[in-house]
A and B are shown apart, each in its own frame.
Chain A
């Protein structure tokens, strides 16, 4: 196994397949050779990390919904299952993923969504992706299948290692299957657009968010404020009357979710700058924003040299979504980086999984 040939795993033929045994064997082989692996989904989020020098481990063949009972509001699916299939199945049953994962291309997988940990526009209103992960089965660096968490809403037995997988970019284990809490689709949705400059829009949204209104999106494109409401018909109607503005098509929010809105699409690169929602935004104040101001979007090949320090000073951080100019992630303070390194070693002692994808040290 000294070449960089992919492991001979079956690729997806669109049917449900459990490749746990073959994937475990591949990890054990890699461990015995001390050869790093590059865990690959559909590649739709490839811009979100550094290049990995490892043997590709294709996950798209390991697919299929393992368990879904709409009355339980819990779905378990293999990591290679296309997100679009999961969401279509939920929609047939009047349900959805509350964290609204962005689709950054066709074929994106559930495992990729969890590994990259991106939550969409609903994030400040309904919670983050990791809040909805109830459990996960992973392969550790020895090729052992481990199950953390479970399929029930409340479970505090053992450390929440499954939540740790969300946003770890595959560096802590190979995701095999994931159990998610799902939520009912709102009865109605409405979208409104208001002509408000950025600063005024931020204050307006902060004020609305302090009231019990059925808000589910607050995005500013640089010129206008886009609001979305989700809930019961009477409540949404009352909120629309209160908020004013012009009506817009709620489906327009798909483009905001998928970072395909004209102010986010195209260009050399796209950077996600997380900041405290209502705090000062420094040099980022004029950028388009989502999540009520909690996420600023920078469409550029690379942030300015001072941007990283400024984001940290403002209590936030930067990560790359599209592009190749590095680094892809906010540098960590030394003590925290050392802890990351120890956590990595706990689950992947030989450093097999996606080395360099997040930080050189993990």
Chain B
């Protein structure tokens, strides 16, 4: 299990006496801001990937940026690893504590500091929930576009760390397109502003580098978000297909025709039926796949596009094309899609969500290949995709109470990610590498590239204390893992000693 950190393959730090750590950190934090008792820190042992668990030595709950800086500096002086955590909804184990380290929880940073409706920006603290921003912006006719499915609970700081996406990033871009600046604190306790209130900043685009860096470079303490005008009209089309390949063809046809949908989602038979049972969304239960295509914009344009897309869907062989009649039906169609993950509880006791990205043209091949892998590994897979941007979320169905089933699920997940890389895709579209995909990084990147990532990390965190063992694998890990994975006939990391 990957929640076991290996000093040889991940990171090795000298143990620090918990009493020394406590004596050093407690005075830096408000009363009750340092948790060390087992029952108090237990709730923080895992994030949105509950299969991975580890206990930190202490949980710090700072309330000001100065306290964040002081805690980071103290950890640097003591040589103690630090993992930052927002709402803990991440799906890749990115906020999994480092055993014996400090977990820095930003939940007290929960204020929206201001909304400027004229500049169309929101200045927020990192603990603010994603959806709360759009709710606060709505009275001004504005919204915050990135909408990960966890948007009710996930925090903006975590969104920045993961470069979070969501259904609507097909049109509006992921987090990095929607932030202007971030105040960050480095391990040295230095408070820096990356980016700025103008549309670009002087020097290197360090804000873009920082976004999606999974807590390896610094801790976000404030973010200036870009808001968008709420679209005048939003319409949703549901199309049913009796063949998954034809649905994939329809996706290609829509994108090639020059339509930019606000969202373009696909669900296969098992996923749509489970979602229908769960949410009563009104999906056609006998379909092999459905597409949900949302068009937003000015009323006149939306009406035109809806006509066009309906024609394209029929031309691509849709057996049924339904346009949501009203807002209630539109919400119901979405409810099924957004409830797809919890709905998996109807198919199996547990599911494991994968997050690969592929070029859209490879979709039919990848679907067929995934079916084959599912049989080889003996576990079922239900498929939910952000089809428009080629982001797959295969849900591997397993039973954690069955001996060896989780390991089987992990192995199938790894095989699917490597399939994504083999067609020119990526091991993660929006969930991040975290702890979960640390081994697959060795498949997607060469030794020189991994070295470059470590060098960039060292520019911010020379001691390697921020979120160790996550996102970027050590070369030792790649040597060990690479031994089992010969890629295109070449053994990666060949010159390194294998343990």
Contact = CB atoms under 8 A, between A and B. Distances in A.
Interface of A: 69-74, 94-95, 117, 119, 123-124, 127-128, 130-131, 140, 142, 144, 146-148, 150-161, 163-164, 166-168, 172, 183-185, 187, 206, 209-214, 231-235, 237-239, 274-279, 291, 294-295, 315-317, 319, 329-330, 332, 335-337, 339-340, 342-343, 345-347, 358-359
A72 B204 contact: no
Contact of A152 (B117, B232, B429, B455): B429
Contacts of B471: 158
28 contacts: A69-B359, A71-B255, A94-B258, A127-B177, A144-B448, A147-B449, A148-B449, A150-B357, A152-B357, A154-B165, A154-B169, A154-B389, A154-B430, A155-B428, A156-B426, A156-B430, A156-B432, A157-B444, A158-B433, A164-B208, A168-B205, A210-B229, A231-B297, A238-B300, A279-B197, A336-B203, A347-B452, A358-B203
B301 A161 contact: no
B300 A163 contact: no
B192 A317 contact: no
B201 interface: yes
A164 B201 CA distance: 12
Given A130-B205, A343-B204, A345-B459, A161 B452 contact: yes
Contacts of B217: 159
A346 B456 contact: yes
A234 B429 CA distance: 35
Given A156-B430, A335-B192, A72 B360 contact: yes
A159 B428 CA distance: 12
B490 interface: no
Contacts of A119: 200
B390 A154 contact: yes
Contacts of B170: 153
Contact of A210 (B118, B177, B232): B118
Given A128-B200, A144-B448, A278-B119, A159 B212 contact: yes
Contacts of A335: 190, 192
A231 B298 contact: yes
B153 interface: no
Given A71-B255, A158-B453, A291 B199 contact: yes
B197 A315 contact: yes
A346 B426 contact: no
Contact of A127 (B140, B173, B192, B428): B173
Given A163-B209, A276-B197, A279-B119, A154 B357 contact: yes
Contacts of B319: none
Contacts of B391: 153-154
B230 interface: yes
Nearest to B437: A157
Nearest to B230: A212
Contacts of A70: 256
Of A70, A214, A332, A336, most buried by chain B (CB within 10 Å of CB) is A336
A298 to B, nearest CB: 15
A209 B357 CA distance: 33
B426 A157 contact: yes
B198 A315 contact: yes
B142 to A, nearest CB: 7
B429 A156 contact: yes
B300 A156 contact: no
Given A146-B448, A274-B198, A276-B197, A157 B456 contact: no
Contacts of A131: 173, 176-177
B29 interface: no
Contacts of A166: 205, 208
Of B199, B389, B425, most buried by chain A (CB within 10 Å of CB) is B199
Contacts of A342: 458-460
A161 B197 CA distance: 22
B469 to A, nearest CB: 16
A163 B360 contact: no
A146 B174 CA distance: 24
Contacts of B176: 131, 160, 163
A213 B208 contact: no
Contact of B304 (A184, A232, A291, A319): A232
A31 to B, nearest CB: 14
Given A156-B174, A156-B433, A210-B141, 6 more contacts: A147-B445, A147-B446, A163-B205, A238-B300, A316-B198, A343-B459
